[in-house]
A and B are shown apart, each in its own frame.
Chain A
Amino acid sequence: MNWNALLPELILSAGILVIFFLELILKEKYYKTLSLLGFITVVASAFSIFYVHYPATTLLGGFTVSGFSLLAKFILLAVTGLVLISSYDFFSNKDSVYSEIPYLYLIALLGFMFMLSSGNLAIIFVGLELASITMYILVGLLRREYLSKEGAYKYLVIGTAGTSMYVLGSALIYGSTGSLAVKSLGSKDPIFAFGVLFLIFALALKVSAVPFHFWTPDAYEGAPTPTTSFLATVPKIAFYFLLVKLTLYLFSALPSWKIIVAVVAIASMFYGNFMAYAQRSVKRLLAYSSIAHAGYFVLALTSVDLLLMSALLFYVVVYAVATLGAFTVLSVLEKKEGWSHHFLDFKGLFREHPYLSSALALFLFALIGIPPMAVFVGKLSIFMGLVKNDLLIFAIAFAVASIISAGYYLKVIVYMFLHPRERAMAPARVSAGESFTLMLTGVLILLLGIFPGFLMDWIRFTLFHE
């Protein structure tokens, strides 16, 4: 038994257990302490990653550690830590506070970390389910709000359909090849093809690509905003790291995978962008923007090219940073009395909250892809990667969709800066955790835009040694 390979997961599990038992005694009153404890666990786990020796295998070959999965885990831990530390003030301000929240986030994170450290479809499933079930609970946490319940219910029903597709897919693959290993040799068997197809659909559902996106707007809107920022970032990163691995070894064994993935991708891009224009709630608008982004990301999976895939992963990470920042601003604003995320609430916000609205503008400009913010580099490298792979049509579709998307982000900025304030509200207080998250994401989005080489090289290096 190689305990060293499991070090980050062990620390995280220990932290979860400690918080779990403390929560039984301390209850809501010590909610902030429990959150901080969760944050410390995450930091400790992230640090322990530097002490893991890789490559290594343990748990009878079911758990493998590579540079690639460690990098993914580190990024996941960092993002979850930021979500956690920016969430406590939000929940303390809501009257229905549940002190279980910190360890729920951590359990979902643990699920994703397991998911990424296995080459076996069954063990991936265990991690996936651990994370998914926790996220259903997280979405439905605001028990007294209808939207939260509705979102959670939709997410549960549709998410479960996805899970069952996943199981069915892996069962078919097992039936056809006799192995659950991701690095299978593939086969010409139609049953194998069906299996892969179901896997693609299941994962498309999890990353909210069209036509499996229906849960996304409702779950994003209904969830407490810190949970939305978790939902929009951590699972995205995890699933794309997984998808890159699956595409490399499994999907590419299916000849027609390109077409399926491309159709899903292009449909998501355009559907997400056009629907976003119809939204009146900024939170829902960002949900549609994440559908559109799912399209951009999946598009980069149409070719087995490690350079393109590392560009994709870079893009996912910087997208997550920008989205995390944007949702953190929204969660600060939601603490205001009578705030509803409706466009009208944003009118003239700059007069009331100059710093918060500037931060939101920064993140939205970043999401449009305006240089020098990091998302521009991500978009550019995906575009060039598609061109390199002779997928000029996809590259053009990607560019057009990106241009279409500029309008709705700008609309929010225009409302915030150039309209007079109509509804005066008491200003919201920004907690220390929230301002930390905002500062860090803001600096990161600029820094990674100006010096992207560091993260890009890191991703590429680990991917090539996977």
Chain B
Amino acid sequence: MEILLTVAIFLPLLWAGVISIIRNEWIAKGGAVAVSAVVFLISLVLFLNFDFSKEGFQFLTRVEWIPTLGISYQIGVDGMAISLILMTALLFLAVFIWSWRIEDRPVLYTALFLMLETACLGVFSALDFFLFYIFWEGMLIPMYFIIGFWGHDRKVYAANKFFIYTFFGSLFLLLGLASVIVYGYFQSGSITFDYLEHARMGYPLWLQTLAFLLFGIGFAVKIPMFPVHTWLPDAHVEAPTAGSVILAGVLLKMGTYGFVRYSLPMFPEASEYFVPLIFTLSVIAVIYAAMMAIAQNHIKRLIAYSSISHMGIVTLGTFALEHDALNGAVYMMIAHGLSSGALFFAAGFIYDRIHSYEMNNLGGLARYLPNFAIAFMIAGLAGIGLPGLAGFVAEFLVLLGTFKAHPVWAFIAGTGMILGAGYFLYMYKRTMLDEELVPEERRRKWSQLRDLEPHHILPFAMILTVAFILGIYPKPFVDIMSHTARLVLGG
């Protein structure tokens, strides 16, 4: 069973290597769908075999790698990691199906996404700092080229901005890792990159503070938290559809995952100390980003700001240091991954058909694209937290948990969610409804449009089904996530 995790991580990379030699478009695409389906099945098997009543990490694999530096190949998952892995595998499968029709350099495109899949799965399962950092950085280069090659008009600017921000962040992360490893060396006399050993070590407060800030900057850029969020709207606006889906669905979760996996258990006192700071930034992100979203005219920019707002809720829930809130934060990572993925698919579909993201150029599409209108609606409602869909459970848990400990903060953040309903419904109105405001000749053009094709329906169906399941019967998932909460907060 343990070996399956390793297989799931490296299978995409292996296939990327194979297709870069074969270089046949259809073998590459078909194989990528097959590989990602296999990865999804493996992660499903792991998920079903995960015993959430047992404490600690499961499916642990440990192989000595560079013994002189105390580096080992060590992977394993807890409740949060296995859920994120399952979601990652699902989104990549959806992305490969969606990209069936891509024509511009398809082999390179597929290979880059496969490399990205390996890096993402690796980040969520690595339990060794060195391994973690390799996967963390390994995500950077494929994403850079995905934005830079297949993006829209200002792709170079967006790709560079993305690269500079995240690279800058990961340098801080590297310094943070170095600081705890150096401390560990002075403490025990041997170098170790083993996360499990470091989590047990217990650092003094000064080091916790320092390392929390260094790690925190690295993670905050990735999430992104206010005020280092400005790269995200640009990256999303310019990225191709599939790139946006992965960026919003998976990459942003790496930052919050990092907070839960590294910052909370390794620096518990510093985490408590920085709660007011994180709360302030989170609440600013929730409300400010939601207001920014209302002001947008560009669909993707709007969804990007809504992502920032939702990630603010995740950080809020993470640092409430309370069981329910942490469960909710992890739930929100999954729920937001699904809903923002579906929303970016929807935006991409609109662009495919009408070649514009500007709401001024849209309107009244619901009559001509009925199936799409339904999918778009469900995706959006999942995002704004309608009961019965995944987002609701997440927001409810976060607010419930935060309210127990910090009622005022919970109240302020709650207002942000009302704004969330506002911006989505406003966008839906201006793109899909408002038919009477659309000029006649544009309506004539609309009537030529083709509705969803099979390679669009399948991704939507997969993602939205999971969103429904998570919303209607959340208990098993909450159980699995509270596995992490027990691990991190004790009890």
Contact = CB atoms under 8 A, between A and B. Distances in A.
B18 interface: no
Interface in A413-466: 414, 417-419, 452-453, 456-457, 460
Counting from the closest, the 4 A-B pairs by CB-CB distance are A371-B134, A418-B156, A387-B182, A418-B148
A419 B66 CA distance: 39
Given A387-B182, A403-B171, A380 B156 contact: no
Contacts of B181: 384
Given A387-B185, A456-B68, 16 more contacts: A370-B141, A371-B137, A372-B138, A380-B69, A380-B130, A384-B182, A384-B191, A388-B191, A395-B182, A399-B178, A403-B171, A410-B163, A417-B148, A418-B148, A418-B159, A453-B65
A290 interface: no
B168 to A, nearest CB: 9
Interface string B104-137: 0000000000000000000000000010011001
Contacts of B65: 453
A197 interface: no
Nearest to B164: A410
Interface in B138-188: 138, 141, 145, 148, 155-156, 159-160, 163, 167, 171, 174-175, 178, 181-182, 185
Contacts of B227: none
Contacts of B159: 418
B66 A388 contact: no
A372 B134 contact: yes
A406 interface: yes
A460 B69 CA distance: 13
Contacts of A457: 68
28 contacts: A370-B137, A370-B141, A371-B130, A371-B134, A371-B138, A377-B66, A380-B130, A381-B68, A384-B69, A384-B181, A384-B185, A384-B191, A387-B185, A395-B182, A399-B174, A399-B178, A403-B171, A414-B160, A417-B145, A418-B155, A418-B156, A418-B159, A419-B156, A452-B66, A453-B65, A453-B66, A453-B67, A457-B68
A365 interface: yes
A190 B137 CA distance: 51
Contacts of B68: 307, 381, 453, 456-457, 460
The interface centre, meaning the residue of B66, B175, B181 with most chain A CB atoms within 10 A of its CB, is B66
A383 interface: yes
A108 to B, nearest CB: 33
A171 B156 CA distance: 59
A26 interface: no
A403 B171 CA distance: 7
Nearest to A384: B191
Contacts of A365: 141
A358 to B, nearest CB: 10
Nearest to B159: A418
A456 B65 CA distance: 12
A452 B69 CA distance: 11
A161 interface: no
A72 to B, nearest CB: 20
A157 interface: no
A372 B130 CA distance: 10
B160 A418 contact: yes
Contacts of A399: 174-175, 178
A356 to B, nearest CB: 16
Interface residues of A, number: 27
B324 to A, nearest CB: 38
Nearest to A380: B69
A199 B181 CA distance: 37
A371 B133 contact: yes
Nearest to B133: A371
A305 B370 CA distance: 72
B111 to A, nearest CB: 12
B182 A392 contact: yes
A372 B73 CA distance: 13
A372 B119 CA distance: 12
A95 B133 CA distance: 49
Nearest to A354: B108
Nearest to A310: B68
Contacts of A456: 66, 68
A452 B175 CA distance: 22
Contacts of A395: 182
Contacts of A388: 185, 191
A417 B65 CA distance: 34
Contacts of B67: 453
Interface in A313-346: none
A461 B304 CA distance: 54
A406 B140 CA distance: 14
Contacts of B174: 399
B178 A383 contact: yes
Contacts of B134: 371-372
Interface string B187-204: 000010000000000000
Contacts of B130: 371, 380
Nearest to A407: B164
Nearest to A350: B149
Contacts of B175: 399
Contact of A406 (B155, B167, B191): B167
B66 to A, nearest CB: 6
A381 B69 contact: yes
Contacts of A414: 156, 160
A387 B65 CA distance: 21
Nearest to A457: B68
A365 B167 CA distance: 12
Nearest to A386: B182
A383 B155 CA distance: 36
A370 B170 CA distance: 11
A117 to B, nearest CB: 28
A405 B134 CA distance: 19
Contacts of A372: 134, 138
A387 B180 CA distance: 12
A371 B177 CA distance: 14
Interface in A364-410: 365, 370-372, 377, 380-381, 383-384, 387-388, 392, 395, 399, 403, 406, 410
Nearest to A418: B156
Nearest to A406: B167
B251 to A, nearest CB: 17
A460 B67 CA distance: 13
Interface string A160-194: 00000000000000000000000000000000000
